Amino acid sequence: MTKSAAPKRHLPTSPFRAPATPTPKHFAMGDQVTHDVHGLGRVIGLEDGIAALVDFGSEQRRILSPYTKMTKL
C-alpha cells in the first residue's frame, strides 16, 4: 500500500482534533543552521518565504520552504 502525497482533510464534525500546522521557520542573512542531510551551514541568501541559499562549506544549496530538515542554531 502506498502513502498519498495529498494531506488529509480535517472535517469540522470530526471528534478528533485537527492536526497542528507547524509554524513557518524564518531565517535571516548570516544565520548558522544545521541540515539533516548537508550538515552545518550559514544562510547567504533569501527568497521571500520560498527558499534560502545556504553555504555548507563544500557546496552551496538552495533549500526550499518549509525547511523541514533545517534548524537554526
Model pLDDT for residues 25-39, shown as the tens digit of each residue = 789 999 999 999 999
Q: How confident is the model at residue 23 (pLDDT cuts 50, 70, 90)?
A: low
40-66 confidence digits (pLDDT tens) = 999 999 998 789 999 999 999 999 988
DSSP state of 57: S
Q: What are the CA-CA distances from residue 62 to residues 21, 41, 49, 71 (Å)?
A: 24, 12, 12, 15
Helix (H, G, I), strand (E, B), or coil: what is residue 39? strand
